[in-house]
Chain A
């Protein structure tokens, strides 16, 4: 009997699984529900507030009017895309060099990458902030993107992957006149595509949802990324707050990634499995 079947035989398995799943989706369900409730009815002591499409329409309109949500999301998209592209552009060649090329200082660089893996970004954050502030670059895309374009994880990941790429194919390519960069982009990356995909997913999720750094370098509303913008919207409004509109804003901000993830989930799993196997 399989392990899972053994657990299930106790009967707890399925029920507990369903219950855990329910608790997991509860805030999502609630957020959507409240976004369809009239603001005055949200806190009334009833188990479930009255929901209606009309109230929902009001809430979503109010949310979009009171906070530039689409702007925040556009900022998020620009920043995440730029970060990802630059991360890959910088990390892939470096990973390849570390894996397949011999050059002076290679072990030093690899050691530096491993060391860098251990430095959380909150450590360099303060001096980076001061430097950016004195350079007058606060509230810019560059400030949001810059610190992340070198990703030790990406470099490490690419190196691990490229290590197992057959040398003969590379040598043959060289004989065919491929330059080293071409080898990276036309041979190695396509072969590691699922891993690249997995990394891309994780990078986008991480940077779309990052609150810490945007909070540090962005003070102007028009430059905020989704989490910072939502936090700002949450803090605004008078004391009663407009919970319904806030939930509506939350739905709008959260939806893109969630929906996107549902589609790429399988690939993500495959990519991660490839990584786990190595």
Chain B
């Protein structure tokens, strides 16, 4: 053989050796595919994974393109179930868990728990409920929040209110918002962010103590109290100065200092902090609610879609890590979510003291009930029903009683 051919031959040998070794090397590594919603969450989601990977070098992560919303994520997962393309770890909107279970795409995690007592380990029992369907645990709560009241302290003062003593009832809040609207032509007093699902609407009902379903599983807010609660949304617009603009526009308005009060999940507090900076004084306060009423907690639940036992175990180890006190402290600091593991609270005392707006949500845990997940497979449709009806109300296309009727009949048609 010529020298050139010899060189080729040895290269070939090296190549073959590498190819043979490759699968063996790959086998030692586990790759976990993760799907979450909201691209804005990517930084901290990926940070958590990176932390874990540092301590567990045999695990690598691949993040699927984040879905736009919780609903879109479920749509994506269902489509992927047709190709065997499912992510291993799916951080889903807790209200859609029944839809996932109805399609048989997720298994309970009892086998992985192996008898561990999660409550004893610090997991909040209320939050664990979010990951259960019919009492069976399918995953772990990953990031939980409640809505809070964001306010522009300067505007509140200008309107004659006291930023340190924000109203605790809706009448007072709406009145204050009305005064802020009167401060200027482009001023918007308040904005209740309806969102892309029914979470905030459930909050509206809950703030007036209106139940969602009866014990028989029928819609229960088709009552006078329910209409009154939904009517709040109309009053926000007619008396409080809210305008039916889309969420990005509303946020811009708030960050620009042209909006007084903004109601949204505490998860947005980091964005507020970053966008507002110190251009004006701002803070958070609890959501107004009646005596005996409260708020609705909601958020993400981590479920494991992988079926192979090795991957399942690795995935479970990861979500245990992500819900541990240290990891949860990281999540809280980077977002505004509440810790699902109460063991994180002592780690956060300093942080909360330095960043009071973060703590408001935590103070609401005691009065929070979990985001109600409509049974059956039509969770995504039901979300859309609520969004559409509330938007119609905001645009003055229907009245509160009509909206409640419409939502009731449409939702009932979609329940099993």
**Closest residue on chain B to residue A43 by CB atoms:** B252
Chain B residues in 8 Å Cβ range of A238:
39-40, 271
B40-A219 in contact (CB<8A):
no
How many A-B residue pairs lie within 8 Å, measured between CB atoms?
49
Chain A residues in 8 Å Cβ range of B65:
219-221, 232, 236
B413 within 8 A of A: no
What's the dominant secondary structure at chain B's contact region? helix
Complex-state Cα separation, A153 to B387, whole angstroms: 42
Q: Which of A235, A237, A240 is the one whose CB lies under 8 Å from B275?
A: A240
B248-A239 in contact (CB<8A):
yes
B84 within 8 A of A: yes
Taken residue by residue from 53 to 70, chain B's Cβ proximity to chain A (1 for < 8 Å, 0 otherwise) reads as: 000000000001110100
Within 8 A of B (CB), among A220-255: 220-221, 232, 235-241
A239-B40 in contact (CB<8A):
yes
B83-A237 in contact (CB<8A):
no
Q: Contact size class for A?
A: 20 to 34
A133 within 8 A of B: yes
Q: Which of B39, B79, B84 is the one whose CB lies under 8 Å from A136?
A: B84
Q: B75: shortest Cβ distance to chain A, in Å?
A: 10
A116 within 8 A of B: no
B251-A219 in contact (CB<8A):
no
A263 within 8 A of B: no
Chain A residues in 8 Å Cβ range of B84:
136
Complex-state Cα separation, A237 to B40, whole angstroms: 5
Chain B residues in 8 Å Cβ range of A134:
82-83
Q: A25: shortest Cβ distance to chain B, in Å?
A: 26
A138 within 8 A of B: yes
Chain B residues in 8 Å Cβ range of A219:
64-65, 76, 79-80, 85
Complex-state Cα separation, A134 to B271, whole angstroms: 41
Q: Which of B39, B76, B79 is the one whose CB lies under 8 Å from A236?
A: B39
**Closest residue on chain A to residue B249 by CB atoms:** A43
Within 8 A of B (CB), among A180-231: 219-221
Q: B31: shortest Cβ distance to chain A, in Å?
A: 15
A239-B271 contact, Cβ under 8 Å, with A219-B76, A219-B85, A221-B65:
yes
Within 8 A of A (CB), among B73-90: 76, 79-80, 82-85
Q: A132: shortest Cβ distance to chain B, in Å?
A: 9
**Closest residue on chain B to residue A135 by CB atoms:** B83
A133-B39 contact, Cβ under 8 Å, with A219-B65, A241-B248:
no
**Closest residue on chain B to residue A235 by CB atoms:** B68
A130 within 8 A of B: yes
A235-B82 in contact (CB<8A):
no
Q: B194: shortest Cβ distance to chain A, in Å?
A: 13
Chain B residues in 8 Å Cβ range of A45:
186
B289 within 8 A of A: no
Chain B residues in 8 Å Cβ range of A240:
248, 251-252, 255, 271, 275
Complex-state Cα separation, A220 to B80, whole angstroms: 11
B355 within 8 A of A: no
B66-A236 in contact (CB<8A):
yes
Chain A residues in 8 Å Cβ range of B164:
none
**Closest residue on chain B to residue A130 by CB atoms:** B82
B247 within 8 A of A: yes
Taken residue by residue from 25 to 65, chain A's Cβ proximity to chain B (1 for < 8 Å, 0 otherwise) reads as: 00000000000000000011100000000000000000000
Q: A232: shortest Cβ distance to chain B, in Å?
A: 6
**Closest residue on chain B to residue A221 by CB atoms:** B65
Taken residue by residue from 82 to 99, chain A's Cβ proximity to chain B (1 for < 8 Å, 0 otherwise) reads as: 000000000000000000
Known: A133-B83, A236-B65. 19 other contacts (CB 8 A): A43-B252, A44-B256, A45-B186, A133-B79, A133-B82, A134-B83, A136-B83, A219-B64, A219-B80, A220-B64, A221-B65, A232-B65, A235-B39, A235-B68, A238-B39, A238-B40, A239-B247, A239-B268, A240-B248
| 29 A-B residue pairings within 8 Å (CB atoms) | A44-B256, A133-B79, A134-B82, A134-B83, A136-B83, A136-B84, A138-B83, A219-B65, A219-B76, A219-B80, A219-B85, A220-B64, A220-B65, A221-B65, A235-B39, A235-B68, A236-B39, A236-B65, A237-B40, A238-B39, A238-B40, A238-B271, A239-B248, A239-B251, A239-B268, A240-B248, A240-B252, A240-B255, A240-B275
